[in-house]
């Protein structure tokens, strides 16, 4: 069992909103979509249940994280047509 603890930087923070750009499926730090979000930020927020992806006016709740890839669910007309949408954060180097 692993425990994820909040730290002083998390006090009173309810969510971390990152901005998804539909044309490239990358995650950005601001709505201007000029600077990609670092993988470490996405991993930390996801593990603490605080990550939201905003795509336009829609807020998406991530359902999976694999390295620097975040997956959200998308409906294609009916609940029977749920598909995964993958978003990419700036990868952390392993050097």
Residues 30-69 have pLDDT tens digits of 999 999 999 999 999 999 999 999 999 989 999 999 999 9
pTM as predicted: 0.85
Question: Do 13 and 41 form a contact (C-beta atoms < 8 A)?
Answer: no
User: Tokens 């700036």 belong to which residue?
Assistant: 90
Taking the C-alpha atoms of residue 42 and residue 20, their distance in angstroms, rounded to an integer, is 12
Considering the domain boundaries, does residue 95 fall inside one? no
Considering the domain boundaries, does residue 32 fall inside one? yes
Domain count, the chain: 1
Considering the domain boundaries, does residue 23 fall inside one? yes
Considering the domain boundaries, does residue 94 fall inside one? no
> Domain range for residue 35?
15-88
Give percent of the chain with pLDDT exceeding 90: 69
Is pLDDT of 78 > 80?
Answer: no
Burial class (CB in 10 A: 0-12, 13-18, 19+), 28: buried
Considering the domain boundaries, does residue 5 fall inside one? no
């Amino acid at each position: 069992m692993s425990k994820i603890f909040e730290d002083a930087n998390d006090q009173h923070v309810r969510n971390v909103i990152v901005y998804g750009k539909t044309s490239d499926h990358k995650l950005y730090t601001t709505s201007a979509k000029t600077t990609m979000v670092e993988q470490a930020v996405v991993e930390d927020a996801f593990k603490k249940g605080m990550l939201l992806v905003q795509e336009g006016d829609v807020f998406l709740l991530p359902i999976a994280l694999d390295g620097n890839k975040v997956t959200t669910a998308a409906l294609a007309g009916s609940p029977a047509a749920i598909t995964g949408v993958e978003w990419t954060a700036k990868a952390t180097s392993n050097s």
